[in-house]
Amino acid sequence: MRTGVLGAIAGDVIGSVYEWHNVRTTDFPLFRAESTFTDDTVLTVATAEALLQGGDYAQAYRSWFRRHPDRGYGDRFRLWAEADGAGPYGSLGNGSAMRVSPVGWAFDSLEEVLAEARRSAAVTHDHPAGIRGAQAVAGAVFLGRTGAGKREIRAFVEDSCGYDLSVPLEALRLTYRFDVTCPGRCPRRCEPSWSRRTLRAPCGSPSPWAETATPWPAWPGPWPRPTAEECPRPSGGRFSPSCRQTSPRGSGASQLASGGGDGVESR
């Protein structure tokens, strides 16, 4: 786990100066005088602590927030963290994904990783999209550390979690715009014509339109079937995509290490 946490911290520090001032090239300094850690690092460490000590995620997040209160937290997360009895606030922001990477190092099966990623997200980000973003990142970390190749990881992220990775990073850099949500940032999703009828299934769940989907070949299942509210079948069985572009937080290193950072608007 130590290796994974250090990677996430490095990605956060490297990307800290580019979140609001994106670069569209790979030729940039990794560390600058103003580089620093952000809330991504703080809450990633909190996740690791909760896993190692068997603690409660909500308690760990609040404790680490109070140790480092001025690291760029979103307003909604700040209000939650300052109120000891507050429950989850339905966020689909990508804060659930940016703090989850230690979960991918803590368990021996993908099923356990996805279940724990859900638990880590749900204390704040209990919207299905917020949970799905955390599961996508944690699952990809687990697959990478257990020897899966790029093709297997891509199949998991696309087929199981509903993200589209078809556009090359070089193309995304040209049109990137800041997005604080899991669907828009983690890492790129082919966004449907939005309605309640077009929510994708949670990560690891069987596709609700399986006859039109390509199954992941190394499926370890069985998975809990999602509710009708989480993944109703879209009309015609397919999305009509209107692609939203995103890119890593300044660089590929940051996105791959930490799952990307939130903006201050909606963590």
- Per-residue pLDDT at 241 exceeds 70: no
Which whole number is the average pLDDT over 48-66?
Answer: 96
Which whole number is the average pLDDT over 57-77?
Answer: 96
Enclosing H/E stretch for 5: helix 2-15
pLDDT digits (tens, 9 = 90+) for 211-239: 233 333 332 333 333 333 433 333 333 22
CATH annotation of 1-267: 1.10.4080
Query: Vertex 163, ends 161 and 167: CA angle to 5°?
Result: 155
User: When comparing pLDDT for 33 and 261, which is higher?
Assistant: 33
The tokens for 84 are 């000891």
C-beta separation of 77 from 109 below 8 A: no
- Predicted confidence band of residue 204 (pLDDT cuts 50, 70, 90): low
Which percentage of the chain shows pLDDT scores above 70? 68
- Per-residue pLDDT at 196 exceeds 90: no
- Predicted confidence band of residue 266 (pLDDT cuts 50, 70, 90): very low
DSSP 20: S
Cα end-to-end span (Å), the chain:
25
Sign of CA dihedral 223, 224, 230, 232: positive
Phi, psi of 124 (to 5 degrees): -130, -50
pLDDT digits (tens, 9 = 90+) for 79-131: 999 999 899 999 989 899 999 999 999 999 999 999 999 999 999 999 999 99
User: Taking the domains of the chain in order of start, what are their residue ranges?
Assistant: 1-267
The tokens for 136 are 């996508």
pLDDT digits (tens, 9 = 90+) for 28-49: 999 999 999 999 999 999 999 9
- Per-residue pLDDT at 203 exceeds 70: no
pLDDT digits (tens, 9 = 90+) for 144-192: 999 999 999 999 999 998 888 888 888 887 877 767 777 665 554 333 2
pLDDT, position 186: 59
Residue 114 burial by Cβ neighbours in a 10 Å radius (0-12, 13-18, 19+): buried
